[in-house]
Structure 1
Amino acid sequence: MGRIYDVLNSIEQYNLVRTQTASRPKKYVAVEPSTALDRLLDDKKRELEEKADQYEEIVDDLSTELHAAEPVEEQFWTAAVGAEETADLLVERLSAADERIVVVASDQTSLFDQGDIGDLVSKQLEAAIDRGVEINVLMTPGLVDSLPASVGQRHRETLSPHPDYEVRVSDDVTGTFNVIDDVEVCIQVPHPLAVNDTFGMIDLKDPEFATNIHDEFLPKWQDAEPLSF
């Protein structure tokens, strides 16, 4: 009998039964089915809202701790192989930019001209602009001509009008890489047997190396021609 009363007491907590406490033993009677279902649904909604609030608090606390953490100053590198893995790594690193992104893209090994991947990279640049990140894009005229229509449209309608986004073109571009926040460089590696295909990407976090790359980029940027989409 004890277990039966435990079950009945549990059901009572959800307001699914009414009790007559004055009687001995205590008597239980079920509420109307439609009322019971409404009460059960309300209780479950309330529990989910409380859980959602708890998770939001946890995320807020973790975000605060992560932002307060000291950045890693030592050298670190990782790599990705294959077009999709390369795109995933590039998107991840672009999403981490806080201040500045430099994009240098040649006709070879550029992800901009690869349909869905180009759209994905362009969306990340748009998200970076929304975060207040300054973006400079240097590409070859040949790459401009090969851009998918959707990528060109995003650059023309969404990115180019923004004052912190600028595109220039130059024939003096032989590689494809990105400099992020002046501390990190993502270098795309062409396939050894198909130079127009992407083999992989090396992501190197090294402030000194990134500074050297940016210093070599500046003269090419200054000599390049502004591009209007």
Structure 2
Amino acid sequence: MTDLGELGLSSYEEKVYRTLLVTGAATATNVSDASGVPKGRIYDVLNSLEARQLIRTQATDPTRYVAEQPDTVVDRLLAERTVELQQELARYREVANSVRSNLLPTVPADGSVWLGALGSEEMQTALQEHMRTATDSVHATVGPPYESAPWETLKQEVDAFFDGAPLDISVALLVSEQVVETVPETLFEVAEEHAAEVRINVLPEIPVSFDVIDQTVTTIDIPHPQMAADRIGVVAVNDSDIVAEFERQFQELWVEAVPLLE
């Protein structure tokens, strides 16, 4: 494909345009003869080029056609392609959103159970999408099974958590002492790079891991019955009374905890 073809001209359109650059003003018959474009197609091609403002006509009898300046033509072709690509990008985004909705479980009015092992690909995706819903704040407790999991596994969910978190939200993390001993110190530096405000408090022990987003939805980890370093999934709950209770529990634990940096 030629460069003009890449910018959106058909082979006939390119032949006609290049011919007019050489001949100057010419009739349709002359352009057909000089370009090799069949007479049965020449008017369609000329009309298409004129409609795209790549050539213009002269009010003569018979009508003569004149090529627009190359710089002008290239700019107009580029503008056309830009619009086409923007439309294609919008279509791909719609497809991507549809794929996301099909891959992730739909949370009904009161809640849902998302099955997935700690660090699994499906739970990383679910966690990212969950975090993207935040507009103001995320309050999270980090205890089991995170404190028993190897860092290589835990890192998958930590990355998903902060990759999904919007940059302008406030994040409060309540972590157990065992988690602090498990994760590298750089984790908490990374946390501060991914949110407008990050506060981390520590408690000796945290019985259950959960989060509360914008005080409107909470997810609670379901411990694995046989493996302390894993879970079988999470429960997502939208019921306002339940969410309010978990937020209250978080605030009570937060008051008892001490800041990480003290």
Q: Give the TM-score taking structure 2 as reference length.
A: 0.62
Distance in 2 between the 1:120 and 1:41 partners? 44
Deviations 1:94-131 (A, max 9, x none): 22123332110014147994224323323444x3xx42
Confirm whether residue 104 of structure 1 aligns to residue 144 of structure 2.
no
Distance in 2 between the 1:216 and 1:17 partners? 72
**Change in 2 beyond 3 A, CA 1:181/1:30:** closer
Aligned to 2:219: 186
Confirm whether residue 77 of structure 1 aligns to residue 115 of structure 2.
no
Distance in 2 between the 1:194 and 1:138 partners? 23
Q: Could you tell me which runs of 5 or more consecutive residues in structure 1 were left unpaired when the two chains were aligned.
A: 60-71
Identity across matched positions, percent: 24
**Change in 2 beyond 3 A, CA 1:95/1:159:** closer
**1:190–1:199 contact (8 Å) kept in structure 2:** yes
Q: Give the TM-score taking structure 1 as reference length.
A: 0.70
Q: 1:28-177 alignment to 2 at 5 Å?
A: 28=65, 35-36=69-70, 38-48=71-81, 52=86, 74-82=109-117, 83-109=120-146, 113=151, 114-125=154-165, 127=166, 130-131=167-168, 133-148=169-184, 150-155=186-191, 158=193, 164-177=197-210
**Change in 2 beyond 3 A, CA 1:173/1:14:** same
Secondary structure at 1:221 match in 2:
helix
| Deviation, structure 1 residue 227 | 0.7
Secondary structure at 2:134 match in 1:
coil
Bigger Rg, which one: 2
**Change in 2 beyond 3 A, CA 1:107/1:187:** closer
Distance in 1 between the 2:135 and 2:247 partners? 17
Distance in 2 between the 1:94 and 1:215 partners? 20
Deviations 1:129-181 (A, max 9, x none): x42x33321111111122245423313x5479x6x432111123022110112
Q: Could you tell me which runs of 5 or more consecutive residues in structure 2 were left unpaired when the two chains were aligned.
A: 1-38, 94-106
**2:212–2:247 contact (8 Å) kept in structure 1:** yes
Aligned to 2:60: 22
Deviations 1:33-78 (A, max 9, x none): xx54x4443113323555659x99xx9xxxxxxxxxxxx9942335
In angstroms, what is the RMSD of aligned CA positions?
3.6
**Change in 2 beyond 3 A, CA 1:84/1:190:** farther
| Deviation, structure 1 residue 10 | 1.0
Distance in 2 between the 1:115 and 1:149 partners? 13
Q: How many residues are aligned here? A: 202
| Deviation, structure 1 residue 185 | 0.9
**Change in 2 beyond 3 A, CA 1:95/1:112:** farther
Confirm whether residue 222 of structure 1 aligns to residue 244 of structure 2.
no
Distance in 1 between the 2:141 and 2:46 partners? 69
**1:107–1:142 contact (8 Å) kept in structure 2:** no
Distance in 2 between the 1:122 and 1:6 partners? 56
**1:17–1:28 contact (8 Å) kept in structure 2:** yes
**Change in 2 beyond 3 A, CA 1:76/1:116:** closer
| Deviation, structure 1 residue 2 | 6.2
Secondary structure at 1:194 match in 2:
coil
Deviations 1:179-213 (A, max 9, x none): 11222111122333322124322211111111112
Distance in 2 between the 1:99 and 1:30 partners? 57
Distance in 1 between the 2:127 and 2:121 partners? 10
